[in-house]
Every structure is written in C-alpha cells, then in structure tokens.
Amino acid sequence: MADAKVIPFDDDRSRAGAQRAARRRAPAARRPGPPEEPAEVTALPGAVPGPRGDAGEGDGAEQRRPGGWEERISGGLAFLRRRLTGEYEVDDFGFDAELTDQVLMSLLRPVYEKYFRVEVRGVENIPDEGGALIVANHSGTLPLDGLMMQVAVHDHHPRGRHLRLLAADLVFMLPVVNELARKAGHTLACAQDAEALLRRDELVGVMPEGFKGIGKPFGERYKLQRFGRGGFVSTALRAGKPIVPCSIVGAEEIYPMLGNAKTLARLLGVPYFPLTPTFPWLGPLGAVPLPTKWTIQFGEPIPTDGYPPEAAEDPMLMFDLTDQVREQIQHTLYKLLVQRRSVFF
C-alpha cells in the first residue's frame, strides 16, 4: 500500500513572500503588546500520529517500526541489555516474541519487500483476536513460502499478530535451524501441539501438502497434492476455531525443480535432492532463488464452532471440509494465475 501524503495548499516560499509583502504594507510604528498565544494546531480528521509524529500511514507495519536513529539506538541497547540479563520471555514451545519482532522479522523483511515484492490480499479475513487455523498450499523446493506468509501476517495485520507455523520433523533435526525455528514460534506438525496453540487463541499455520507439495516437479506447479487425511480439520473442529484458506502464487518458480536425484537423497536422508537449472551446477550460487513476484491471498474463513464435539470423529465431515478448503485454495490459485502479468513483474 502506498504511503498517504498530505498535499499542502501552498509551499513555504509563497507563504514567506506573502508575509514580507504584508510587513511592507503595515504601519511603521506599532505599540508593543502582550505576546500572542501560539495558534492551536488541529489535526486532520482520521490522522493518527505515527512513530515520528507524522500522520498515520494507514499500515500497521509502518506504525510498529521504530522511528528516528536515536529511538532505534536506544531500543537496540535496551534489547541487548534484556538479552544479556535474561529479562525476556519464552513460552512452552520455545517461542521468543521479542527476538522474532526485533531480529528475525527484520532479517526476513527485505527479502519479503524488495526481493519477492509480496502483495497481500484478504488480510481482513484473519480474525483480530482468538485462534484460527490458516491452511496454505506448499511449494518452492525450500520452505520459503511459510516464512513469507509469517511476515505477511505480522506486518499487514492491524494487530501485528504472530503466525505459529507447524513444521516437519526434519526442521527440528537440523542444527541451528532447529533453534531458530523454535524461537520464531514454529512447532512440530502434530495434532496435540496445534490444538494446544489454537486453544491459547494463537494463529496457527499449516501446509497439508508437506513434502509432496514442496518437492513436486516444475511440470506440476500450482496443482495441489493430496491434503493428507484431514487431520488439520479434525484439530480445528476440536478447538472450535475457524479455518482460513490461503493461496500463494510465485513460490513455485523460485527453484524450478526439473529432476530429483533419489539415490543421493536417500544417502543424505532427505525427502528429495532437487535438480534445477542452476543447482547443483553453479555450486552455492545455484542456491539463490529466482526473484519472482509473489501474491498471498487469505480467503474467507470457514467456521467450525457450530459443529458438536463428536464432529471431530466423523470421517465424512472431515473429508467434506478438507475438500472444501482444498478446492477454495485451488480455485484462488487459478484466479491469481490468470490475473498475473508475468512471473517476475
């Protein structure tokens, strides 16, 4: 969203010229009187002071970001003091909200804004409070789509809410990645953890395609894979929280997967070993993703609080709701692809 600007009726130079002309026309002598009271400045209707005293820019992310350099430096020093003294909170899952806001989001934001130039739609479909399960398609060879979705929710939602992603076991088996994932609020993709977070009124993100979606060949791009056995629907039903479908366009092309070295993948203990036009032929340089243009659209929520408690055990209901979510995501993907002018613009 472009920043709103207040266009002045005249510029400073024209005002200064008018004041000089008025002084030339004024009487030469004037009896001194009491100093005039400064005129009260009335804010424009709807203007909200921003972090630097400016009119509100209409975007929650801009208002949450620090202002001038002095404020940033003082905030950074206070952050370091809290980290060194241990005066920060971590929840039962290892989520560190302060580290996520101050460091991790700041590292991901340039990739989100400048490299992939993500456009977000339908953020108003994410509830302002209470839990919800955001279900999205998965693609891209590496799970950058989940991270970009996390930034989209944090920076564009009016409340700056955190998205707690459900990640595969492999994420928590990798050194360094395991610790960072926990700090960012990710947790194991299991029904118990997901339900616990939903009952705490958290936003939970899940990508039911799993490795089948993220590791599919380029020829099958934007064709949704099987959504498992509907476990995410059962979790939402037990917690009584709405399901928000999410469609992501642009991630499929960042690493066009032309082949899969299955033997090498088995030796390394990974689900697949991608062969792309640049990787592994160009070495580390081949791991740089292509700068595609992304669109993330959040669809209308599907309520689940109207079902009885035993509905979570009804296989037909779970199948119907799973199919409804999948069809809504697939339909939106096709619509976004038709509207897209180019992969890169």
Residues in contact with 293: Cβ distance below 8 Å, sequence separation at least 6, in sequence order = 116, 117, 119, 250, 340, 342, 343, 344, 345
Place of tokens 């959040």: 298
Give bridge partners of residue 105 from the DSSP assignment: none
Instruction: Return d(Cα 23, Cα 31) in angstroms, integer.
Output: 15
pLDDT at 61: 52
Instruction: Return d(Cα 261, Cα 48) in angstroms, integer.
Output: 55
pLDDT at 70: 84
CB 217 within 8 A of CB 108: no
pLDDT tops 80 at residue 287: yes
pLDDT at 8: 36
pLDDT confidence tier of residue 60, bands split at 50, 70 and 90:
low
List of domains in the chain? 110-254+289-339 (3.40.1130.10)
pLDDT at 106: 95
Pairing state of beta strands 203-206 and 163-167? parallel
Percent of the chain with pLDDT over 90: 72
The mean predicted confidence, pLDDT, of the chain is 84
Q: How many residues does the chain have?
A: 345
Identity at 9, one-letter amino acid code: F
- Tell me how far apart the terminal alpha carbons of the chain are, to the nearest angstrom: 16
Helix ranges (H only) for the chain are 12-25, 60-64, 69-85, 97-99, 105-110, 144-156, 177-183, 191-199, 210-214, 231-239, 262-268, 315-339
Instruction: Return d(Cα 73, Cα 29) in angstroms, integer.
Output: 51
pLDDT at 157: 97
pLDDT at 87: 86
pLDDT tops 80 at residue 345: yes
pLDDT at 259: 95
Helix ranges (H only) for 157-303 are 177-183, 191-199, 210-214, 231-239, 262-268
Residue 143: asked if its preceding bond is cis (omega within 30°), the reply is: no
pLDDT at 27: 40
pLDDT tops 90 at residue 45: no
pLDDT at 73: 86
pLDDT tops 90 at residue 303: yes
pLDDT at 190: 92
Q: Which residue would you say has higher pLDDT here, 165 or 60?
A: 165
Question: For 202-248, how does the pLDDT look when each residue is reduced to its tens digit (9 = 90+)?
Answer: 999 999 999 999 999 999 999 999 997 889 999 999 999 999 999 99
pLDDT tops 70 at residue 35: no
pLDDT at 69: 84
Place of tokens 């972090």: 51
92's tokens: 């039962």
Of the listed ranges 64-68, 135-139, 278-282, 307-311, the one predicted with least confidence: 64-68
Give, to the nearest 10 degrees, the angle between helix 231-239 and helix 191-199. Answer: 30
pLDDT tops 50 at residue 67: yes
